Amino acid sequence: MNIRIKGFMMAMAMGLSALAPSAAMAQAEAAPVAAAPAPETPATTGEAAATAAAPAFDHARPVEGVGMPKPGETYFQEQVTPTGRYAWWMHSYVLMPVITIISLFVLGLLLWVMVRYRRAANPDASRTSHNTLIEIIWTVVPVLILVGIAIPSIDLLAKQFKPAPADAVTVKVTGYQWYWGYEYPDNGIGEYVSNMLTDEQALERGEPRLLGVDNRIVLPVGVPVKLIITGADVIHSFSIPAFWVKEDAVPGRLNEKTFTIEKEGVYYGVCSELCGARHGFMPIAVEAVSPERFAQWVRSQGGTMPGEEAAAEPAAANAAAPAPAPATAS
């Protein structure tokens, strides 16, 4: 019997290791993040925007433990969006206490019944089958608990799916096998591709392993952001734990996600829907910067800010005929 189980386990283990050799190798040969030269300050030195012909933009360096998982961590990342903080509160101060109290209460009842009414202590069992008061209590109390949970829960849901205001910064996110494409339709920035860095590149740039990318999404803080999320081939899922964002990227469908980032920094996420062989190697990196720096980045990519066009138009109208030609930033 024992031998048979052992044999089965061995076969399972061998089968599994045969299935995922590349992942195992990648794990083995990789250097740990901790070995990277720890970027103590979020200095803006180093890597300039890769292919920008326009003014260069210095990207921020990630800060160890911010916007990324920490070693040994079992809880949520620190939330940097209002809905994220609300959801965190809901989880930590509503759901967890309710779950804990109910579990302990039921455990206590079970232990009490098992000890107090065991056959040795209570040989002559009661034949009672109904008790109106207790039946009302065990119907009404759970209903009240559920209503109490439903109120903040529905409120949170409504906040998460509130449509973005018209002036929100819009990014179209497309999931591909196996990388992400980002486009800023309102800023005239066409789709660019974001790929994972190799272990060597990540180490060199002080980026976390398996999370660092060559081209990040850059977003302003304090401004509503609207993501339009879709998939090009199979279903992917765009997620950033620090924003409490996780949205499926489905081919032929546009999903929307709105949030406002409150703190500057670099935040990481991963594809969260099994999408094929390299599902585990299509990370997401968001660089949250001040609105001024965001405008700077947009110009460095050859794009324009919607405000710039609006400011230029009245001037043109005053000078001459109502020229419809949009101003182009240089």
Q: How far is the CB of 182 from Cu ion (least distance, A)?
A: 15
Give the shortest CB-232-to-Cu ion separation in angstroms. 10
The one-letter code for the residue type at 74 is T
Nearer to Cu ion, 172 or 263 (CB): 172
Residue 210 engages Cu ion in binding (rule: CB under 5 A) = no
| Count of beta carbons in the 10 Å neighbourhood of residue 22 | 12
Min dist. Cβ of residue 279 to Cu ion (A): 5
Question: Which residue lies nearer to Cu ion by CB, 84 or 283?
Answer: 283
Q: Closer to Cu ion at the Cβ: 175 or 265?
A: 175
Pairing of β 284-289 and β 189-194 = unpaired
Q: Is 36 in the site for Cu ion (CB under 5 A)?
A: no
Question: Stretches 75-83, 240-248, 258-266, 267-275: which one binds Cu ion (CB under 5 A)?
Answer: 267-275
Stretches 70-78, 94-102, 228-236, 322-330: which one binds Cu ion (CB under 5 A)?
A: 228-236
- Between 107 and 274, CB nearer to Cu ion: 274
Q: Which stretch binds Cu ion (CB under 5 A): 25-33, 88-96, 155-163, 275-283?
A: 275-283
- Cβ 20 to Cu ion, closest distance in Å? 17
Q: Which of 236, 257, 293, 299 binds Cu ion (CB under 5 A)?
A: 236
Q: Closest CB to Cu ion among 26 and 168?
A: 26
* In the complex, least distance from residue 249 CB atom to Cu ion, rounded to whole angstroms: 7
| Selected range binding Cu ion among 163-171, 220-228, 266-274, 314-322, rule: CB under 5 A | 266-274
Structure tokens at 157: 């849901």
Q: Work out how close the CB of 16 gets to Cu ion at its nearest, in angstroms, rounded to a whole number.
A: 22
Residue 132 is encoded by which pair of tokens? 């109106």
Largest CA distance in the chain: 103
Taking contact as CB under 5 A, which single stretch among the options 42-50, 53-61, 191-199, 268-276 is the one that binds Cu ion? 268-276
- CA dist 109 and 113 (Å) reads 6
Closer CB to Cu ion, 196 or 203, in the complex: 196
Taking CB under 5 A as the binding criterion, the range among 63-71, 128-136, 216-224, 234-242 that sits at the site for Cu ion is 234-242
Cα–Cα distances in Å, from 235 out to 143, 160, 170, 187, 209?
37, 21, 21, 27, 24
Report the candidate in 257, 284, 256 with the shortest Cα–Cα distance to residue 270: 284
Cβ-in-10-Å burial (0-12, 13-18, 19+) of 140 comes to: exposed
Of the pair 230, 260, the CB lying nearest Cu ion is at: 230
Applying CB under 5 A, what is the total number of residues that bind Cu ion? 3
- Residues in region 51-70 near Cu ion by CB under 5 A: none
Which one among 210, 240, 266, 275 touches Cu ion, defined by CB under 5 A? 275
Whole-number minimum distance, CB 281 to Cu ion, in Å? Answer: 9
Is 271 a binder of Cu ion (CB under 5 A)? yes
Note the residues at the interface with Cu ion (CB under 5 A): 236, 271, 275
